[in-house]
Structure 1
Amino acid sequence: MKLANQSSGVEDSPLTPFLKRLTVYTSGGPFLDGYILTIIGMALLQLEPVLQLDAFWTGMIGAAALIGLLVGGAIFGYVTDLTGRQFMYQIDLVVIIIFSILQMFISTPWELVALRFLIGIAVGADYPIATALLTEFSPRKYRGAMMGLLASAWYAGAVVAGIAGYLLLNTSPDAWRWMLGSAAIPALILAAGRWGTPESPRWLVGKGRTAEALTVIKQVYGSHASLADLDEIPSEKTKISRLLEPEYFKKTMFVSLFWTFQVAPCFAIYTFAPQILAAFHLGSGNDWIIGYAIINIFFLTGTIASMSLVNHFGRRPLIIWSFIFMTLAMLVLGIVPGAPAWLIFLGFAVYAFFSRPAKYP
């Protein structure tokens, strides 16, 4: 990745070409997440009869990547603190490319479950790796917008997956192989774009490698930048066990539970979108893609709105009120028997719109 050759300091740096490219390629992780977790929904339309999947295997295939995400995110945040951001930033994409291609050659349900789980680990690993790298490079005044783009990228990936799946679905009985293998294409593009990204100067300083950190800072921000421009970097290590102490436990549970309750139904909707929309009679045959696309617009609109609403209302009130509206929407979908199509669609739309403010904080 080509580095910028301008700027006066770190926190007050302009949005240089390097920082723009870093934001785009870092957003590739959430993009792949949205793509991989959505394309399986289209592939399952063909996989169910081909592999003779029952409810158990269909659920396992749909959930495998999400379970892998939880494992990858939990483990590799710690690993990247030990080994650095640069190496892990590229190797996780290589893993996604390899396992995505291997999916094309599976012949049994358990093989696909295993590969989806491993892909999920790699995608989950990219969240703490890429987020840390972007946060540690981004100037203060652009940090919120740069992080907000990560939230939007997930839905961009989901939309692209929906389009790809729709176009491939009726091309051949083996189209599912190409759907699953297609994730290797954006992963390969991202891996090429990430090549040459320098190590985080904050991580280097934390490891005592100040000379290397200074070199990176001057390359990225300009010859006038120095280590003094960096935010204060803690000199003492913090143990994970501190999260269980009274001071942090309540806050940790608040964030973790809300995140879990937001993610689980959202990913279920995306993974099994064709089946869910068909069950609600929102489109016959392949026409469900129209309802799916419109609902995606509400997800994306909520993402954009949340980036401004969070500063106006505050994080805690925004997340609580968003969950109130999401709950009401799910109640409409779950307990209103024989609801008219417009009410069902409204339930999906309200849930989609408020799902992003619930997650963004």
Structure 2
Amino acid sequence: MSVRPWRDIVRRPSRRIMVGKVPVGGGAPIAVQTMTNTPTEDAAATIDQIRRCVEVGADIVRVSCPTVEATAAMGAICRASEVPIVADIHFHYKRALEAADAGAACLRINPGNIGSQERVREVVRAAKANGCSMRIGVNAGSLERHLLEKYGEPCPEALVESALEHMKMLQDEDFHEFKVSVKASDVFLAVAAYQGLSEVCDYPLHLGITEAGGLQGGTVKSSIGLGMLLWAGIGDTIRVSLSADPVEEVKVGYHMLKSLGIRARGVRVVSCPSCARQGFDVVKTVERLETALAHVTTELSLSVLGCVVNGPGEARETDIGITGGGGGKHMVYLSGVTSHHIDEPAMVDHIVSLVEKKAAEIEAAKAMTLLAAE
């Protein structure tokens, strides 16, 4: 039994599918996804944006395929990408066929929006032939007319019913390699829809608050909605939808998962908001450290506290800590224990060096463990 049951997250059981080489659902790590915003026809620009997203941890990247020219570029894009590519398809089922043949690992498509069941059957054949999974993406802003007439407005029941209708079209073709999303810009609507869908199916769920807004507002809005769902154990992949560089979406996604203790990548910084007691400029120090430590992917923790009120307590819980002291000399903690003082001018470089050393030690220990297990 956990000694801290109040922070346990019990994930919703779901079946597992594969998006390329990435397992989704069935207890697999929650995957972080983003979407390119370059013209897909410009393969070089799209490949470069995908590369930058992968550098900060993107597991899956979605690419829009609205035209023949876009799907023509998909072959080069998929070959160049280190992570699976999801082809975003709307209405034009032939784009799905082309994208599957070009190497897309997953097709984001709503079967009911591409026409007849025969067209759905063609897409399923292409998906099976190319080892593609699919994502059904229901959106409150584009609900089917009959559901709007039935319910009067977008509501959780309408989103769930739409998802079930699309799911049935794939199930009727004996295709089950798909995940589902029921996104809305309204946080309460999205959360309620996901909660409802989680109760009536065991397919993996892709989480997102759609059209969330800019970097700051969208981060807050997405964190509230996705945080509620993730804390309840709902969700197998996430995408933070921001009007910002896709790289920022990935970073925010990892910060969410890290904050909930679900999945970590890189350095988790614990820092105070600063006040008149601070022995050094906490805000600028944290900014410099986050930039200087962006290349570290090993999971470890760093506390940066401006004074001795909460500093020692926080430092006891982190791998490395720094607490502000008097006279420009600050206390450094290693593994929660006081270690030595450091002068302020050398502080940032010194902390970066300690973090890099600790990361190397952690990776070496992992390697030894793997070697011993072989």
TM-score range, shorter chain: under 0.3
Which entry has the higher C-alpha Rg, 1 or 2? 2
Q: TM-score, normalised by structure 1?
A: 0.25
Structure with greater strand share of residues: 2
Using CA pairs under 8 Å that are at least 6 residues apart, name the structure with larger relative contact order, 1 or 2.
Answer: 1
Q: Judging by fraction of residues, say which structure has more helix.
A: 1
